């Protein structure tokens, strides 16, 4: 079998796990993340402002960006400022003054307490502040909002500010955390200490080959 899921569940699935492996798993703290998508009836205000992406380090959402101009099959990208488009917003909860792991835990707790209305209010206020001077009207221009929140979003990646400087995807506690248990191998991006899809693919390849070597 291959466990290809949230690695923190493994000690509960395998309570017989040895202490060093359990401690290694507990050190891999998931990164909370929020992606919001705002359906706009047009993007004339972005055109007037002359921007397609705007950063706001002190706002709830760190960035607001227009969708990439990609066409697939019969779906064509938004070609003129009068066409509808999706704006993508990103929020990574953080608490200054804490270590990275502590910030992830605090951010996760914050996400659990926030409502859709909290995000909606922040989006309207932020986009109005950015684009209002260029003709943006939230009530008129926003057709819909979706908020995708992942309290356990990205896999933990080592940070030289808080972790041993020698740790990397090739060296670190995740190597102990992903040790096979009997005839079960461990995959998922957690086990690669790499948050992106190629980390998960590499983990799957490794896990299957570990089983073939039994």
Task: Give residue 58's pLDDT.
Answer: 87
- Kindly tell me if the per-residue pLDDT of 68 is higher than 90: no
Closest by CA position to 151, among listed 72, 40, 34, 4? 34
Tell me the pLDDT tens digit for each residue of 94-124.
888 999 999 999 999 999 999 999 999 999 9
Average pLDDT, the chain: 94
| Euclidean distance between CA atoms 169 and 110, whole angstroms | 29
Q: How many CB atoms lie within 10 A of CB 111?
A: 18
pTM, entire model:
0.85
pLDDT band for position 135 (cuts 50, 70, 90): very high
pLDDT band for position 50 (cuts 50, 70, 90): very high
pLDDT band for position 86 (cuts 50, 70, 90): very high
- Kindly tell me if the per-residue pLDDT of 35 is higher than 90: yes
Burial class of 156 by CB neighbour count within 10 A (0 to 12, 13 to 18, 19+): buried
- Please give the residue that has the higher pLDDT: either 76 or 125: 125
pLDDT band for position 207 (cuts 50, 70, 90): very high
- Kindly tell me if the per-residue pLDDT of 59 is higher than 90: yes
pLDDT band for position 148 (cuts 50, 70, 90): very high
């Amino acid at each position: 079998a291959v466990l290809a899921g949230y690695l923190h569940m493994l000690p509960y699935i395998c309570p017989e796990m040895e202490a060093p492996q359990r401690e290694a798993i507990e050190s891999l703290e998931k990164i909370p993340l929020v992606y919001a998508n705002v359906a706009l009836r047009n993007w004339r205000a972005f055109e007037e402002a002359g921007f397609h992406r705007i950063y706001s380090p002190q706002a709830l959402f760190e960035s607001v960006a227009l969708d990439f101009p990609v066409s697939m099959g019969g779906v064509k990208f938004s070609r003129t400022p009068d066409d509808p488009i999706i704006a993508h917003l990103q929020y990574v909860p953080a608490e200054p003054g804490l270590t990275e792991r502590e910030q992830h835990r605090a951010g996760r707790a914050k996400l659990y307490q926030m409502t859709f209305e909290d995000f909606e209010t922040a989006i309207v206020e932020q986009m109005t502040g950015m684009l209002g001077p260029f003709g943006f009207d939230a009530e008129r221009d926003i057709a819909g909002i979706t908020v995708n929140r992942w309290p356990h979003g990205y896999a933990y990646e080592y940070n030289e500010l808080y972790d041993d400087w020698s740790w990397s995807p090739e060296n670190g506690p995740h190597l102990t955390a992903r040790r096979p248990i009997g005839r079960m191998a461990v995959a998922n991006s957690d086990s690669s200490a790499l948050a992106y899809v190629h980390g998960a693919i590499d983990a799957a390849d490794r896990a299957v080959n570990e089983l073939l070597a039994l």
